[in-house]
Amino acid sequence: MKQAKLWVWLLVFSLGALVFWRAGVCDFSREALYPYENAKIWLERAVWVRVQAVFSRARQASRSATLEREVARLQIVAAEAEALGAEVDRLRALLDFPPPPACRWQAAPVLSRGGTAAVWQSLRLAKGSLHGIRKGDPVVVPEGVVGRVSDVSPHTSEVMLVTDPNSRVACEVETPGEGVGVVRGILYGGGSSPTADDPTLTLLYVVDPLRLRYLAREFEPAPRTRVITSGLGQTFPKGLTVGYVLESQLEPNGLSREASVMPAVDMAAVDEVFVLSREGGSRAP
């Protein structure tokens, strides 16, 4: 009888927590799993990588030499970028432009994909508010944009991928240059494109293509044209690669053009990402 009473109280308390303490329940669940999910990453990095290294010493040596050359090349590029940065700062000062917000890239390993339900296309990262990550921060890899932070707990953060049907990113198409101007649109996550169920596309691409909508109707982008962030949405900086145009057609209302876009990043293969934290800047709610 006493045991039954305990369970009734537990049930009432649990239901109350789910109804009145939503954010707390989400944070608590993620934080409870965090050490164990992080342990898996630690095992992969500290143990598995070393075990692999024992069996592939020669390959590691050649890779190390390649990486050294790459580091030397990047040092030159960094020096050039620094000189260019100084020049940009000087020109901005001459034109009276406000200085760009201070930013900081930080690497974060991927803890899990899709959560427990896999209804949304999301990633969970092993860094959270304690590391300075905030809701709305952009997430990228060298190949392009991955998504944006949609929720944060002290040690973890959830990322909504650009392939999620709820994702919207302000983008523009790289144009051939003179006479075209800037062609901007809004990139929608995949899911309901008219071509998404086309078996040919299903064979060629592992995810539904994204949709770049509201493009100028006169400009027909060529296949494989690069799509980059326009910087207008205040979330992503300008110029990050998002994907490549597959094809385009007029929207049903005939007022604008819509393009199918192949994401630049293979989301299933992402193990580590970079989060852009703006120091002192404001964030999307």
Partner 1 sequence: MRLDMDLLVSVVTLFFAALLQDLIPVTPSFPVKIGFLTAVALYAALAKPVWVALTVAVWAGGLTDALGGLPLLCTPCFLLVIYGLVRLMHRVFLEATLVQGMLLVAVAAVAQTVWTRLWVATGQPFFTWHTLKLLGYAVPAGMAAGLAGFAVCGLADRVSGIVKPVKEGNGILWAETNR
Stretch that binds partner 1, among 34-42, 56-64, 101-109, 133-141 (CB under 8 A): 34-42
Which of 85, 100, 101, 114 binds partner 1 (CB under 8 A)? It is: 114
Tell the smallest beta-carbon distance from residue 141 to partner 1 (Å).
Answer: 17
Stretch that binds partner 1, among 7-15, 78-86, 90-98, 213-221 (CB under 8 A): 7-15
Check residue 33 for interaction with partner 1 (CB under 8 A): yes
Stretch that binds partner 1, among 4-12, 78-86, 133-141, 229-237 (CB under 8 A): 4-12
Q: Which phi-psi region, left, alpha or beta, contains residue 177 (left: φ > 0; alpha: ψ -120 to 50)?
A: left
Cβ distance to partner 1 smaller for residue 83 or 204? 204
Tell the smallest beta-carbon distance from residue 44 to partner 1 (Å).
Answer: 12
DSSP letter string, the chain: -HHHHHHHHHHHHHHHHHHH-HHHHHHHHHHHHHHHHHHHHHIIIIIIHHHHHHHTHHHHHHHHHHHHHHHHHHHHHHHHHHHHHHHHHHHHHHHTPPPPPPEEEEEEEEEEESTTT-SS-EEEES--GGGT--TT-EEEETTEEEEEEEEE-SS-EEEEETTSTT-EEEEEEPP-STTT--EEEEEEPSS--TTTT-HHHHHH-SSPPEEEEEE-TT--PPTT-EEEE-STTSSSPTT-EEEEEEEEEE-TTSSSEEEEEEESS-GGG--EEEEEEETT-----
Check residue 186 for interaction with partner 1 (CB under 8 A): no
Residues 221-280 that bind partner 1 (CB under 8 A): 268
Check residue 43 for interaction with partner 1 (CB under 8 A): no
Which of 145, 150, 212, 264 binds partner 1 (CB under 8 A)? It is: 150
Which of 83, 182, 206, 222 binds partner 1 (CB under 8 A)? It is: 206
Compose the 155-174 pattern: x for residues touching partner 1 by CB under 8 A, - for all others. Answer: ---x------xx--------
Check residue 219 for interaction with partner 1 (CB under 8 A): no
d(CA 249, CA 60): 48
Check residue 194 for interaction with partner 1 (CB under 8 A): no
Check residue 30 for interaction with partner 1 (CB under 8 A): yes
**Contact positions toward partner 1, by CB under 8 A?**
3-4, 6-8, 10-11, 14-15, 17-19, 22, 25-26, 28-30, 32-33, 36-37, 40, 112-120, 122, 124, 150-151, 158, 165-166, 191-192, 196-197, 206-207, 268
